[in-house]
Amino acid sequence: MRAYRIAIVGAGPAGYFAAQALQNRQSTEVSFAIDMFEKLPTPWGLVRSGVAPDHPKIKSVSKVFEKIASDAGFRLLANVNVGVDISLDELKSLYDATVVAIGAPKGKALGIPGEGLKNVISSADFVYWYNGHPEYVDLEVDLSGSQAIVIGAGNVAMDVGRMLAIDPQELVTTDTAEHALQTLHDSKIRDVYITARRGAESAAFTAPELRELPDIESVDVIIDERDIDGAIRRVGNEPEKSVKSNLEAMHSIALAPRKNQSRRLHFIFRHRPLSINGGSEVESVTFETPQGKIDVPCNLVVTAIGYLPSEFPGLLRKDGHYENQHGWVADNLYVVGWAKRGPQGVIGTNKSDAAAVMETMVSRLKEVKPGIDVLPMLQERKIQVVSQRDWNFINNEEIRRGVEQGKPREKFTSVAEMLDLLAQY
Ligand code: NAP
């Protein structure tokens, strides 16, 4: 029996699916002891901190993650910052293989004038803010104006647009972080513009997300039928299936009767941002359109134009991800998820992708290294490791607090608070 020890860095979907792929390959001849490292005291990555709170069904994949974590050979080592508390080189020497699954958490920059103005926020920060990521709780978000512009035409832009437009009463039964709910309650924003630089035929939305928009009670979703007619003409008779479904969904929104709500979510196309304007605060965005340059007034801009990986010692960034060949980086080091392929794909995409990388990795595993446990090393360095048992305690406490308020959970948004809680049991 060969018992390999594998480190996975990052407890998001890609990390869990890599662990699952390894568990599925266990047999009487080979087993995998998996240590999953996570910077925060809480696992689940974007399922906790990225998925919009009004999409609880997508979050139910966390049950799959917990099942993976219940395997006897799985250990969660959370609240451990790889690269700071322990280096990638150390992991490479301690484990038979190391898999990096740390995503791409930085918002891409537009590179136009005015991007640094107050209340111009990247979706990378804004999404973490409403989801209660401990490092983004104090983000300054000013919702005192009436118009917001979201730049970008992907699913993140749609998430952000919905969260800004929706009546916060519709969010009180979700796990939106309490500080964000308070700010959204006081929001004066009534018109949110999701702006695409190209036509509707090139939008990166997916059809299921578009189709659910008319179900939002409190919001009128507004698409100009002429924009969709133009897009249909441009794509001709045989558009790609996904483009056809998107255009059908947008066409049906364009034709739907208005509810006459005071909250409106507008989709506007062929608006390429040229500059963000204002004095100390943002006042408008100048767009280039087929009709010439126009200024759209606004008090908040959220850029949702994609993500980039963070700097990480031991990995090189290239083309929006870490340099790799089908997931292999060098020696016994691998990457999966957005760290491997850049910020594309839905949560499920990570399953087949991670399985393929794990197949390559397993085929290259050699002699089992002599086992040295990382835990005493971390304890010696005074790192308070949060185990699966600790996380279960935090998780149950969040759910208990949520039940009291009719929510799925009330998240802890402070690392110190979570560690204090653990000190009590
Ligand atoms: P995305 O799907 O790549 O969309 C990025 C958008 O930004 C595109 O419309 C792109 O337009 C635009 N853009 C890029 N650079 C720009 C610039 N300089 N100026 C103006 N617009 C610019 O990225 P995302 O929305 O961040 O989503 C990332 C991934 O997560 C996607 O695969 C998405 O489907 C997934 N996701 C899924 C869900 C869900 O399933 N509910 C929710 C959230 C995210 P161009 O096409 O013109 O470049």
The pLDDT assigned to 425 comes to: 79
User: Do residues 302 and 154 touch, judged by C-beta distance below 8 A?
Assistant: no
The pLDDT assigned to 324 comes to: 98
The pLDDT assigned to 280 comes to: 84
Q: Is 418 left (phi over 0), alpha (psi -120 to 50) or beta?
A: alpha
Point out the ligand 1 atom lying closest to the alpha carbon of residue 52.
Answer: 42
153 alpha carbon – ligand 1 mean position (Å):
6
The pLDDT assigned to 303 comes to: 98
Written in H, E and C, the secondary structure of 3-66 is EEEEEEECCCHHHHHHHHHHHHCCCCCEEEEEEEEECCCCCCCHHHHCCCCCCHHHHCCHHHHH
Is the CB of 109 within 6 Å of ligand 1? no
Is the CB of 150 within 6 Å of ligand 1? no
Ligand 1, residues 205, 305, 353: which to mutate, most atoms within 8 A of Cβ? 305
174 alpha carbon – ligand 1 mean position (Å):
24
The pLDDT assigned to 292 comes to: 98
Is the CB of 197 within 6 Å of ligand 1? yes
Q: Is the dihedral of CA 51, 54, 55, 60 positive or negative?
A: positive
- Using a 10 angstrom Cβ sphere, with 0-12 exposed, 13-18 middle and 19 or more buried, the burial of residue 335 is buried
The pLDDT assigned to 370 comes to: 86
Is the CB of 206 within 6 Å of ligand 1? yes
The pLDDT assigned to 174 comes to: 97
Domains, the chain, ranges and CATH?
A: 2-105+309-422 (3.40.50.720), 107-307 (3.50.50.60)
Point out the ligand 1 atom lying closest to the alpha carbon of residue 157.
Answer: 25
Residue nearest to atom 4 of ligand 1 (CA): 154
Is the CB of 155 within 6 Å of ligand 1? yes
Ligand 1, residues 57, 127, 151, 155: which to mutate, most atoms within 8 A of Cβ? 155
Point out the ligand 1 atom lying closest to the alpha carbon of residue 198.
Answer: 47
Is the CB of 345 within 6 Å of ligand 1? yes
Tokens found for residue 340: 């491997």
Is the CB of 276 within 6 Å of ligand 1? no
Ligand 1, residues 156, 159, 274, 275: which to mutate, most atoms within 8 A of Cβ? 156
98 alpha carbon – ligand 1 mean position (Å):
29
For 370, what's the count of Cα atoms within 13 Å in the CB-facing half-sphere? 0
Is the CB of 157 within 6 Å of ligand 1? yes
248 alpha carbon – ligand 1 mean position (Å):
19
Give me the tens of pLDDT residue by residue for the chain, a chain 425 residues long.
899 999 999 999 999 999 999 999 999 999 999 999 999 999 999 999 999 999 999 999 999 999 999 999 999 999 999 999 999 999 999 999 999 999 999 999 999 999 999 999 999 999 999 999 999 999 999 999 999 999 999 999 999 999 999 999 999 999 999 999 999 999 999 999 999 999 999 999 999 999 999 999 999 999 999 999 999 999 998 999 999 999 999 999 999 999 999 999 999 999 999 999 999 889 999 999 999 999 999 999 999 999 999 999 999 999 999 999 999 999 999 999 999 999 999 999 999 999 999 999 999 998 998 879 999 999 999 999 999 999 999 999 999 999 999 999 999 999 999 999 999 87
Ligand 1, residues 122, 149, 197: which to mutate, most atoms within 8 A of Cβ? 197
Is the CB of 349 within 6 Å of ligand 1? no
| Torsion angles phi and psi, residue 370, rounded to 5 | -60, 135
| Torsion angles phi and psi, residue 412, rounded to 5 | -75, 135
Residue nearest to atom 40 of ligand 1 (CA): 346
Residue nearest to atom 33 of ligand 1 (CA): 155
CA terminus-to-terminus distance, the chain = 38
Q: Which amino acid type is present at position 254?
A: A
